[in-house]
């Protein structure tokens, strides 16, 4: 600080580069030059003041550039993360991953002699949801096909009935199989199909025996 020109509080505002430069260089002039010598060098005082101002502006500019760079990097990172998390039937990550790392099907084939009418699509979606809940598999991998108004008999009778096959890579167990049969029985009950008149066969598939995306789930 300039012992001659500093304020009584001893505080100098860092936001004001010209007074700081002026005080600093004025102190050097007073320290090394006599008043007579100082009067002979007025231009040097101006030059030193301008150099101080340029230094402060340069530092401020560097700070702005640095912050802009950080902001741009953060924005790019956030955008990339958002794209990677966007939902679709199969994400780019899933499509590019090795098939052996993916969960695979299940798929349900159901045949019944009842007429589902315009409720067929809703019925199929409900079956898909029931399979997802019972197996824990992502619904994006679950496939369902239903053939209604088919020629099917059970116990020698053509009373309302249904036959199904469910295939899955894993997630085949007594608990999950029973849960699926129970859920589909509930869905068919309003159409007159008794739970005792429906078989669903469950097949635990090897990855090499399930094809998907131009290859198998084994690779």
Q: Active-site residues: which are they?
A: 106
Residues in the chain: 219
Q: What's the angle, vertex CA 111, arms to CA 109 and CA 114, rounded to 5?
A: 145
- Helix (H/G/I), strand (E/B), else coil: 27: helix
Q: What's the angle, vertex CA 140, arms to CA 137 and CA 145, rounded to 5?
A: 95
Q: Is 111 exposed, middle or buried (0-12, 13-18, 19+ CB in 10 A)?
A: middle
Name the token pair of 82.
């958002």
Q: Which residue has the tokens 């009842």?
A: 114
Residue from 172, 101, 171, 114 nearest 146 by CA? 114
For the packed helices 42-85 and 17-32, what is the interaxial angle rounded to 10 degrees?
140
> For residue 206, how far is the Cα from the chain centroid?
31
With beta carbons less than 8 A apart as the criterion, state whether 168 and 175 touch.
Answer: no
Q: Which residue has the tokens 């094809």?
A: 211
Report d(CA 142, CA 168) in Å as an integer: 9
């Amino acid at each position: 600080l300039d012992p001659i020109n500093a304020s009584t509080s001893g505080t100098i505002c860092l936001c004001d580069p010209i007074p700081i430069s002026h005080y600093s260089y004025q102190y050097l002039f007073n320290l090394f030059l006599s008043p007579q010598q100082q009067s002979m060098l007025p231009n040097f005082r101006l030059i030193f003041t301008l150099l101080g101002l340029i230094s402060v502006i340069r530092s401020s500019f560097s700070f702005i550039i640095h912050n802009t760079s950080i902001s741009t990097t953060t924005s790019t990172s956030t955008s990339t993360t958002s794209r990677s998390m966007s939902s679709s039937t199969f994400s780019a990550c899933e499509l590019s991953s090795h098939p052996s790392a993916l969960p695979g099907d299940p798929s349900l084939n159901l045949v019944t002699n009842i007429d589902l009418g315009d409720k067929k699509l809703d019925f199929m979606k409900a079956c898909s949801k029931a399979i997802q809940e019972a197996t824990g598999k992502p619904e994006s991998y679950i496939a369902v096909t239903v053939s209604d108004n088919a020629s099917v008999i059970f116990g020698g009778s053509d009373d309302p009935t249904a036959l199904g096959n469910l295939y899955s890579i894993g997630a085949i167990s007594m608990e999950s199989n029973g849960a699926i049969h129970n859920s589909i029985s509930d869905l068919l009950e309003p159409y007159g199909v008794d739970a005792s008149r429906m078989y669903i066969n469950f097949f635990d598939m090897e990855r090499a025996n399930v094809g998907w995306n131009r290859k198998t789930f084994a690779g």
